[in-house]
Amino acid sequence: MPWAALAIMAAGVAALGGALVLEHFFAVLPCILCYYERVPYGLAILWGVLALACRKNDKAVQIFFWLAALGFLANAGLSFFHSGVELQWWPGTDECAVNPAVFTDPAAAREALLATPVVRCDEISFTFLGFSLANWNVPLGLGLALFSALAALRPRWKCLQQDASCGCTCCKKS
């Protein structure tokens, strides 16, 4: 179990670290959907830390692994949506577009345009091997969701392979 929690935390740190390196050292600016896609990785780090802290409580550890699995699954769905926006399959959210209300006052519009870098959700700013980061995030999120779910199910599998006298907390019989 500690290895699974550490692996989930490492995936979160690697994903967030990679995003921050691309943003700050290679000027690959994120759109609003990119920011949303970072949230499950941050939560995965938290769930991993909590799973390690509660490693004596099998049920709590399972809950944290299930939360990580759900977060990664949501991330895969959001990344699929973002990929569709990039490919113009469907429109993005309201936050993906420029707010037209800013342009009612020319001075406010000028200040807003000068202060904010324009990063559109429907434009691919970086590709690796022909795929955008949102494209890569779909299988990564699905894989991490599967890994987290299997980590959550591991104690149950252990109990099924052993008899009732194994001594674990999940299959004790009175």
Tell me: the pLDDT tens digits for 92-111? 776 676 555 555 677 776 67
- Rounded CA-CA distance 81/170 in Å is 38
- Rounded CA-CA distance 153/132 in Å is 32
| CATH at 129 | 1.20.1550.10
- Tell whether 171 is covered by a domain: no
- Tell whether 142 is covered by a domain: yes
Place 136 in a pLDDT band, splitting at 50, 70 and 90: confident
Number of domains in the chain: 1
- Tell whether 9 is covered by a domain: yes
What is the chain's mean pLDDT, rounded?
80
Q: What's the residue count for the chain?
A: 174
Choose between 13 and 57: higher pLDDT.
13
pTM, two decimals, is 0.74
3-state DSSP helix/strand/coil % of the chain, to nearest 5: 70, 0, 25
- Tell whether 84 is covered by a domain: yes
- Tell whether 174 is covered by a domain: no
- Tell whether 173 is covered by a domain: no
Residues of the domain holding 151: 2-166
Choose between 9 and 124: higher pLDDT.
9
- Tell whether 149 is covered by a domain: yes
- Tell whether 134 is covered by a domain: yes
> In this predicted model, what pLDDT tens digit does every residue of 141-155 receive, in sequence order?
999 999 999 999 886
* Residues 6 or more apart whose Cβ sits within 8 Å of residue 159: 166, 168, 170, 171
